[in-house]
Amino acid sequence: MSARSHTAVAGLAPDAERDIETKGESGAPPTHVAIIMDGNGRWAASRGLPRVAGHREGARAVRRAIEAAIEQGVGWLTLYAFSSENWRRPASEILDLTGLLRHYLRTEIAELRANGVRLRVIGDRDRFDPDIRTELLAAERSTAANTRLNLTIALSYGGRDEILAAARVLAAAARDGRLDPAVMEETDFTRGLFTAGMPDPDLVIRTSGEQRLSNFLLWQSAYAELVFQDVLWPDFGAAHLADALAEFARRERRFGARPG
Ligand code: FPP
């Protein structure tokens, strides 16, 4: 990811949306749910189908997850669709995934707009073909006034790259005398992340039974509750989201404080 992708950090200007409350309360439903969508390949393999069939079904599950989030009152939903490491997959699979993304953008955006969904994209979009970049920007612009669900899709996203890019911008600001490292605060840093202006995730769900973060929202998930579900992403539906929200409700969140 290049520092130039980080429009939010230019000149360290205060972000207009920074006033969003980023710390949930114990007992409150999650404001922001983030999902690591995993298991498309295994879903396909278990049916003797090519991997692309799993990704296609995964795109249908994306639609279900968005509908379920709206129905279940989730205000912010972030989906990890493509990691910076996914570029290392075989060229044919990359072609399938980018083709699916292109198709998704052309067919689903009108629906998102009609359903009050605001789309944001985080990640290094510069690595995608120009037509996809244009569609992404158009989709973000045309849904920018929507408030029912804040949907973020992580594309070519890597948490360490994101943190490194933010650190570079701050280091340059310190070098140029625009920032005093001694008084630097967390907000100076978070302004440089792709997620500037977004609340941190309260709940991170990973499907397919794997139990890792895989470079997803590393900074932002510091206090997130993690829920790992034994469902392959293409089979994910409203009931799985409801289960994860119920599990979240059973957790006691302390944000590092002692039980009192
Ligand atoms: C993980 O399964 C899934 C991905 C790397 C891609 C996610 C893509 C989609 C859900 C469909 C397209 C999404 C949009 C927004 C159009 P995996 O391939 O790693 O599965 P495996 O671990 O079982 O091999």
Rounded Cα distance between 140 and 227, Å, is 29
The dihedral over CA atoms of 57, 200, 127, 114, expressed in degrees to the nearest 10, equals 50
Nearest-CA residue for atom 6 of ligand 1:
81
Tens of pLDDT, residue by residue over 67-111, are: 999 999 999 999 999 999 999 999 999 999 999 999 999 999 999
Dihedral sign computed on CA atoms, order 27, 29, 30, 31: negative
175 three-class SS:
helix
| Inter-residue contact 239 to 61 (CB < 8 Å) | no
Q: Distance from the CA of 16 to the center of ligand 1, in angstroms?
A: 33
Q: Distance from the CA of 213 to the center of ligand 1, in angstroms?
A: 15
Show the tokens assigned to 259: 């039980």
Instruction: List all residues 6 or more positions away from 22 whose beta carbon is below 8 Å from its beta carbon.
Output: 199, 200
Dihedral sign computed on CA atoms, order 60, 117, 163, 132: positive
Residue 7, Cα to own-chain centre: how many angstroms? 17
Q: Distance from the CA of 252 to the center of ligand 1, in angstroms?
A: 31
Ligand 1 pocket, mutate which of 37, 40, 93, 140 (most atoms under 8 A from CB):
40
| Number of domains, the chain | 1
Residue 257: band (very low, low, confident or very high) from pLDDT cuts 50, 70, 90: confident
| Structural domain harbouring 195 | 3-12+28-246
Do the domain assignments include residue 22? no
Q: CATH number for the domain including 53?
A: 3.40.1180.10
Do the domain assignments include residue 72? yes
Tens of pLDDT, residue by residue over 18-58, are: 334 444 556 789 999 999 999 999 999 999 999 999 999 99
Do the domain assignments include residue 258? no
State the closest ligand 1 atom to the C-alpha of 155, by its place in the atom list counted from 1: 15
Q: Distance from the CA of 19 to the center of ligand 1, in angstroms?
A: 33
Rounded Cα distance between 216 and 181, Å, is 27
Nearest-CA residue for atom 1 of ligand 1:
38
Nearest-CA residue for atom 22 of ligand 1:
39
Nearest-CA residue for atom 24 of ligand 1:
41
Do the domain assignments include residue 125? yes
Catalogue the active-site residues.
38, 86
